[in-house]
A = this chain, B = another copy of it.
Amino acid sequence: MGQPDGADETAHARVTSYDVARLAGVSQSAVSRAFRDGASISPDMRARIQRAARELGYAPSNIARALITQRSRLIGVVATRNTARNNPDILFHLGHQIQEAGNRMLVFTLPDTDSGEGIPDDLFAYHVDGVIAATSLPDEVLAACARRRIPVVLFNRTGPAASVSCDHATGMRDLVSHLVRSGTRTPAFIAGPADAPVSVERLNGARDAFAAHGIALDPVVHSDYSHEGGRAAAAQLLAICRPDTIVCANDTMALGVIDACRHELGLRVPEDLGVTGFDNISQSAWPSYALTTVAQPFEQLTRTAVRMLGELVEGEAMPRERRLMPARLVVRESVVGEGHSGPEAIPAAAQERNPP
């Protein structure tokens, strides 16, 4: 321990490659090469340098490295609060998988109202190698990224950039098929915010799927993706009509609907009213709800997004590729089963593999 060295240098600001070089008796270039895979360096020199580096606690600076290589190994992830709330796993999975690829996740959180205009400057300031957008980015922002050659992958939305999405429409179709087989004839819909692309896809998917069966989806009310929003929408909706099933644009609202029915409106679910969601959040599996829903393959989605972005950074992928990942119907007990009624419906496993 201690630096007997020249004067009293105990508080050296930062250990640099020069420090390691001096200790190991080699040049700075050698130290640099010792930390770069595939660099031209002999095994024993590398070993010697790494021993010295360990002694000093040296780690190469990604900042300096970024400056010279033009690769920061930083991935910008843009998300709103809703992203974090609606499925906390998304951020975790993204972070984890970005790390596995040897990069780091730089999070840009937007208030739900902010459109993200101010984002790009910050993105550029940190030289992010790529961006994953889990919220809608204005086209100008995407254009600015394109101009800077910063690849962008949109997550669960489309736009003038590559994207990875869950196939909400097909998922909705599977769900609707199940509902129609189970007897649904007068469905209503509780959508998310009118400007949320995911909600729009799910709504259109449901409307089209019901239409294919000659059934109208009506009424459609908009809410805000929250439990309280679902509760309020249910109260509003059930005050004016009596659908046999309420299809919700996400699970959280569906759970709110169920709570409203049971605790405020005196309706039984599923006997008096079927309720479905979308997302398969963990709460939906809880026995108090047993929500029939559609699962997004989050891990697969995030993994694909990260991989695709990596390929774009390396210049290996098409810049506008659109990937759709299949959703999966999860049948539980919040709608009456086919030809059955009540909670003892067909077990989930028997349903999940049905062709549409």
Contacts and interface: CB of A to CB of B under 8 A. Distances in A.
A125 B61 contact: yes
Q: Could you say which of A62, A72, A109 has the most chain B C-beta atoms within 10 Å of its C-beta?
A: A109
A159 to B, nearest CB: 20
B91 A91 contact: yes
Interface in A281-339: 282-283, 286-289
Contact of A88 (B84, B147, B259, B283): B84
Given A255-B286, A286-B259, A104 B126 contact: yes
A263 interface: yes
Nearest to A147: B57
| Size category, A interface | 35 or more
A60 interface: yes
Interface of A: 11, 13-14, 57, 59-64, 66-67, 70, 72, 74, 81, 84-85, 88-89, 91-92, 95-96, 99, 104-109, 111, 120-122, 124-127, 144, 147-149, 227, 255-256, 258-259, 262-264, 282-283, 286-289
Q: Could you say which of A11, A88, A91, A259 has the most chain B C-beta atoms within 10 Å of its C-beta?
A: A88
A105 B104 contact: no
Q: Which 7 A-B pairs have the closest CB atoms?
A: A88-B88, A95-B109, A263-B287, A84-B92, A59-B121, A62-B125, A59-B124
Nearest to A126: B62
Contacts of A62: 125-127
A13 B63 CA distance: 18
A288 to B, nearest CB: 5
A95 to B, nearest CB: 4
B288 A63 contact: no
A147 to B, nearest CB: 7
A230 B251 CA distance: 22
Nearest to A95: B109
How many copies of this protein are present in the complex? 2
A63 B67 contact: yes
25 contacts: A13-B149, A57-B144, A59-B122, A59-B125, A61-B125, A62-B125, A63-B63, A63-B67, A63-B125, A63-B127, A74-B106, A91-B107, A95-B108, A95-B109, A96-B111, A99-B109, A104-B108, A104-B122, A105-B106, A106-B107, A255-B286, A259-B287, A262-B288, A283-B283, A288-B289
A223 B259 CA distance: 28
A176 to B, nearest CB: 27
Contacts of A126: 62-63, 104
A286 B226 CA distance: 11
Contacts of A91: 84, 88, 91, 107
Nearest to A286: B259
A125 B60 contact: yes
Contacts of A106: 74, 104-107
Given A99-B109, A104-B122, 5 more contacts: A59-B122, A74-B106, A91-B107, A99-B108, A264-B287
A99 B76 CA distance: 14
A280 to B, nearest CB: 14
A92 B67 CA distance: 29
Contacts of A259: 286-288
A286 B148 CA distance: 47
A67 B64 contact: yes
Nearest to A282: B227
